[in-house]
A and B are shown apart, each in its own frame.
Chain A
Amino acid sequence: MLIRRAADIRPSEITSETLYWNRREWIAAAGAIGVAAMSPTSLSALGAARQQGPVARGTPYGLQPNDKPTPWEDVTNYNNFYEFGTGKDDPAQNAQEFTTRPWTVKVDGFVTKPADYQLEDFLKPHKLEDRIYRHRCVEAWSMVIPWRGFSLSEMLKRAEPTSQAKFVEFTTLLDPRRMPGQRSSVLDWPYIEGLRLDEAMHPLTLMVNGVYGRDLPNQNGAPLRLHVPWKYGFKSIKSIVRIRLVEKEPVNTWKVSQSSEYGFYANVNPEVDHPRWSQATERRIGEFLKRKTLMFNGYADQVASMYTGMDLRKNY
């Protein structure tokens, strides 16, 4: 941890809403008595008070009886989005200035209708739905999130994949000027993810452009991201600029960085541990007691058949 003095915490790191004043006082007090090296992560993250956020609406998909939507503040302040920093609250702070217009999405590879779309044209043909999904991070925490979007399959059908198309490869924007995290080589930029074509065509696989009924905040992957609810979160790539139909299995970024820990499939599986921690349980953000992790994150009935005969221990 780099030692940072309280005085070095930029005002922008501390949320400015008056509701959060008690937090600022807390920081000031901590600084004054010489606790100079407190972690910015722990101090500047969120307000102390549980603030009333927007209300989640939408159709529940695969929710368990005790699943409640995770509050807006947590969904929008606890993010893994290394393009904007590796700390959980870095994206919420560093993505503020990120501009997402104009935005082009390239659809190419083995399709009969390749095209460069303006975002608006890319979205226009689709009816947006609000769907409440379970989200499980590979780091053993989870959320329940009301996304807004449409099935990726509808978009793919329009592009008309050819018979050579076996996989879909997604690419995040590469622009170190706008995405400060890309100035460090912590990952191999640009971020790449991929799905097998049948996974990509599965009706649960969602192209997302909103959350909680609003446009996606930058830190959540604006303006366009994926959500694959039965896979670990890193499969759900953010700020997508390219969708390419390919013949070979795409090489996804986390697999490149640490192939013993992160695979291509990354299906949620309580029986296959991450080398450094167990995947049998998870902590739901906002809850103290841990929950049991469900096979395919609770979507086994819908997706398990895609993997019959596969060794899920090898194909982690």
Chain B
Amino acid sequence: MGTWTSEIVQQESKSVRDRIRAFREPRGFGVLLIVALCIPAALAIAGLLSDILAGTRYFGSNPVKEGEHFLGRWTLRLLVATLTITPLRHITGWNWLAKHRRTLGLFAFGYVTLHWIAYAFLDVQLDWGELKTDLLKRPYIFLGMTALALLVPLVVTSTKKMIRRLGGKRWNRLHKLVYIVTILGVIHYSMAVKQDLTYPLTYALVLAILYGWRLSRWSRKPAIGPSVA
């Protein structure tokens, strides 16, 4: 930890760090996480139904677009969240976080599915010609679909049984796809926005930090703990 910190600071902060490290998983955390991650989806579905059917404006004047964007942003947040688990574990020593990465990953897939449903059913309204043109002629849609498609094998192999069947090493290698999916997601985002790149670039920066952290670890020493993916 922190080769840059001086001995003294390390000494002084030791008790704080120990206390952080000693923090155990709260009871029911897994369930709480699942419930919490359902909330944005529930609000999106309820808000969109109400806006479209009853003319409310929970999602503003253009609920279909706004809802579509809302779900896209949640997809990206969750993908990034899956990638922060490992650094967080190493910094805090909370190894119990590892098993919740699957929850985050599965929810990311859930949100991208809803994002796609909002796009195909509410936005394009199942105009097949348009869906096809979008996919073939509009690179940001192609990238989004590629990202979605790459998540499918990860979902399929997310069970304990599949991990055993593939073997830890192969499973780990396969699940590195998340890095690519998230990069595709950020590129898709930056192409989807009209002009203001502030948020996409913020995500790009966060990814650069997360990936940089991993690269520096890989290059320095072999991983400690069961997996660094």
Residues of A within 8 A of B (CB): 1-3, 23, 26, 30, 33-35, 37-39, 41-42, 45-50, 73-74, 77-78, 82, 86, 88-89, 139, 141, 184, 186-187, 257-258, 275-278, 280-281, 283, 285-286, 288-290
Q: A42-B60, A74-B61 are in contact. Are A290 and B199 (CB under 8 A)?
A: no
A-B contact pairs, 19 of them (CB 8 A): A1-B203, A3-B77, A35-B43, A37-B77, A41-B60, A41-B66, A42-B58, A45-B57, A45-B60, A45-B61, A50-B57, A77-B60, A86-B196, A89-B60, A184-B196, A187-B195, A277-B138, A280-B130, A281-B127
Are B66 and A42 closer than 8 Å at their CB atoms? yes
Counted as pairs of residues, one from A and one from B, with CB atoms less than 8 Å apart, the total is 107
In-complex Cβ contact of B58 among A1, A3, A23 (8 A):
A23
Q: Which 3 A-B pairs have the closest CB atoms?
A: A45-B60, A78-B61, A86-B196
Are B125 and A289 closer than 8 Å at their CB atoms? yes
Q: A186-B196, A276-B191, A278-B130 are in contact. Are A88 and B58 (CB under 8 A)?
A: no
Q: B64 contacts the other chain (Cβ, under 8 Å)?
A: yes
**In whole angstroms, what is the CA distance A41 to B193 when docked?**
14
Are A46 and B60 closer than 8 Å at their CB atoms? yes
Q: Which residues of B contact A258 (CB under 8 A)?
A: 195
Taking CB as reference atom, which chain B residue is nearest A51? B57
**A234 nearest CB across to chain B (Å):** 11
**In whole angstroms, what is the CA distance A73 to B55 when docked?**
12
Are B61 and A283 closer than 8 Å at their CB atoms? no
Q: B194 contacts the other chain (Cβ, under 8 Å)?
A: yes
Q: Which residues of B contact A257 (CB under 8 A)?
A: 195
Q: Which residues of B contact A49 (CB under 8 A)?
A: 56
Are A46 and B125 closer than 8 Å at their CB atoms? no
Are A82 and B61 closer than 8 Å at their CB atoms? no
**In whole angstroms, what is the CA distance A135 to B191 when docked?**
26
**Chain B interface bracket (under 10, 10 to 19, 20 to 34, 35 or more):** 35 or more
Taking CB as reference atom, which chain B residue is nearest A88? B60
**In whole angstroms, what is the CA distance A37 to B73 when docked?**
10
Taking CB as reference atom, which chain B residue is nearest A280? B130
**A43 nearest CB across to chain B (Å):** 8
Are B61 and A35 closer than 8 Å at their CB atoms? no
Are B140 and A78 closer than 8 Å at their CB atoms? no
Residues of B within 8 A of A (CB): 36, 39-40, 43, 47, 50, 52, 55-62, 64-67, 69-70, 73, 76-77, 122, 125, 127, 130, 133-134, 138, 140, 191-192, 194-196, 198-199, 202-203
**In whole angstroms, what is the CA distance A88 to B64 when docked?**
14
Are B57 and A47 closer than 8 Å at their CB atoms? yes
Are B43 and A30 closer than 8 Å at their CB atoms? yes
Are A288 and B195 closer than 8 Å at their CB atoms? no
Q: Which residues of A contact B65 (CB under 8 A)?
A: 141, 283
Q: A33-B36, A45-B59, A78-B61 are in contact. Are A278 and B133 (CB under 8 A)?
A: yes
Are B57 and A285 closer than 8 Å at their CB atoms? no
Taking CB as reference atom, which chain B residue is nearest A79? B61
Q: Which residues of A contact B55 (CB under 8 A)?
A: 50, 286
Are A73 and B60 closer than 8 Å at their CB atoms? no
**A158 nearest CB across to chain B (Å):** 36
**B32 nearest CB across to chain A (Å):** 9
Are B199 and A1 closer than 8 Å at their CB atoms? yes
**B50 nearest CB across to chain A (Å):** 8
Q: Which residues of B contact A30 (CB under 8 A)?
A: 39, 43
In-complex Cβ contact of A285 among B50, B62, B67, B70 (8 A):
B62
Q: A34-B39, A187-B195 are in contact. Are A1 and B73 (CB under 8 A)?
A: yes
Q: A30-B43, A39-B73 are in contact. Are A88 and B195 (CB under 8 A)?
A: no
Indicate the member of A1, A39, A258, A275 with the most B CB atoms within 10 Å. A1
Q: Which residues of A contact B39 (CB under 8 A)?
A: 30, 33-35
In-complex Cβ contact of B57 among A35, A46, A288, A289 (8 A):
A46
Q: Which residues of B contact A2 (CB under 8 A)?
A: 198-199, 202
Are A286 and B61 closer than 8 Å at their CB atoms? yes
Q: Which residues of B contact A89 (CB under 8 A)?
A: 60
**In whole angstroms, what is the CA distance A281 to B199 when docked?**
28
**In whole angstroms, what is the CA distance A312 to B70 when docked?**
35
**A191 nearest CB across to chain B (Å):** 12
Q: A41-B60, A48-B58, A139-B194 are in contact. Are A1 and B77 (CB under 8 A)?
A: yes
**In whole angstroms, what is the CA distance A139 to B69 when docked?**
14
**In whole angstroms, what is the CA distance A187 to B197 when docked?**
12
Are B199 and A88 closer than 8 Å at their CB atoms? no
**B207 nearest CB across to chain A (Å):** 14
Q: Which residues of B contact A289 (CB under 8 A)?
A: 125
Taking CB as reference atom, which chain B residue is nearest A46? B57
Q: A33-B39, A139-B194 are in contact. Are A39 and B69 (CB under 8 A)?
A: yes
Are B64 and A288 closer than 8 Å at their CB atoms? yes
**In whole angstroms, what is the CA distance A290 to B130 when docked?**
13
**In whole angstroms, what is the CA distance A143 to B18 when docked?**
60
Are A288 and B52 closer than 8 Å at their CB atoms? yes
